[in-house]
Amino acid sequence: MDKKEKNKGSKKSNQAQEGESQEPEDSTWRIVLVGKTGVGKSATGNTLLGDKKFESKLSPQPVTVECRKESRKWKGHEFELIDTANIFDPEISKLDAFPEIENCCQLCAPGPHALVLVTQLGRYTKEDEAAVKAVKQIFGRKAKKFMIVLFTRKEDLGDGSLEEYVTKSKNKGLQKLIKRCGKRYCAFNNKETGGEWENQVEELMQLVDKVVKKHKGKPLIDESISEGGMPDKLTEKQ
């Protein structure tokens, strides 16, 4: 091997090492709760955490005014849960929501491993559809590939099954969403305790695990995200 080829090979080796150092193994999962205001995102977060970390109460006004992050372990695996403020409401301009959108992006940087869309059972409306569009605007066109639909008020199913409710629903918007999310969905009764509480958490975390494995552990990083942790299309409006 001549000197030129040797240097070329050495350069490739250095580049490979640099590439490995730039993409370290991300052992902590980042999960973001998304959806319109009033569907129970904070209560769902508390159920998942097994503790009342996020403020949750019945109120005519949004209770969560800023995005927050809490963490816990599931089967020895660390995960961070981000509860979001009122940043998906179509009545609020993205310019007004900009500070909290930025906060959310920074809390889940360099990107979330799963997006949990929270919606109330039997109440998937046009406002929910608008919230989904806002999620896509913030997290990018690949958002639904990382999305899991979580229905609150599981207790309203009574003796019926969630699968039956979803498959027989005449709500075309909901059917379309479920299909585009790879049929990943589950339901929570946020007042549940004991074994049933554990079963709910287990079901959701298994879905998160599937999403993580599907993407080989890589988080959702939209091509439009700037170095500051914000979608370029939003920063351009500032």
- Given a cut of 90, whether residue 26 has pLDDT beyond it is no
- Specify the pLDDT at position 23: 42
Q: What is the 3-state secondary structure (H, E, C) of 3-31?
A: HHHHHHHHHHHHHHHHHHHHCCCCCCEEE
Q: Say which residue, 119 or 77, is predicted with more confidence.
A: 119
- Residue 89: pLDDT band (50, 70, 90) is confident
- Given a cut of 70, whether residue 106 has pLDDT beyond it is yes
- Residue 93: pLDDT band (50, 70, 90) is confident
- Specify the pLDDT at position 12: 43
- Specify the pLDDT at position 204: 98
Which amino acid is located at 128 in the chain?
D
What burial class does residue 145 get, using C-beta atoms within 10 Å of its C-beta: 0-12 exposed, 13-18 middle, 19+ buried?
A: middle
- Given a cut of 80, whether residue 231 has pLDDT beyond it is no
- Specify the pLDDT at position 94: 75
Rounded Cα distance, 70 and 12, in Å: 41
- Specify the pLDDT at position 163: 96
User: Which residue ranges form the domains of the chain, and what is each CATH number?
Assistant: 27-235 (3.40.50.300)
Least confident of 30-34, 68-72, 123-127, 233-237: 233-237
Please give the average per-residue pLDDT across 75-96, as a whole number.
Answer: 88
- Residue 58: pLDDT band (50, 70, 90) is low
Diameter of the chain by CA atoms? Answer: 76
pLDDT tens for each residue of 62-72 = 555 699 999 99
pLDDT tens for each residue of 157-215 = 999 999 999 999 999 999 999 999 999 999 999 999 999 999 999 999 999 999 999 99
- Given a cut of 60, whether residue 117 has pLDDT beyond it is yes
- Given a cut of 70, whether residue 233 has pLDDT beyond it is no
DSSP-assigned letters across all residues of 141-161: TTGGGGEEEEEE-GGGGTTS-
- Specify the pLDDT at position 232: 54
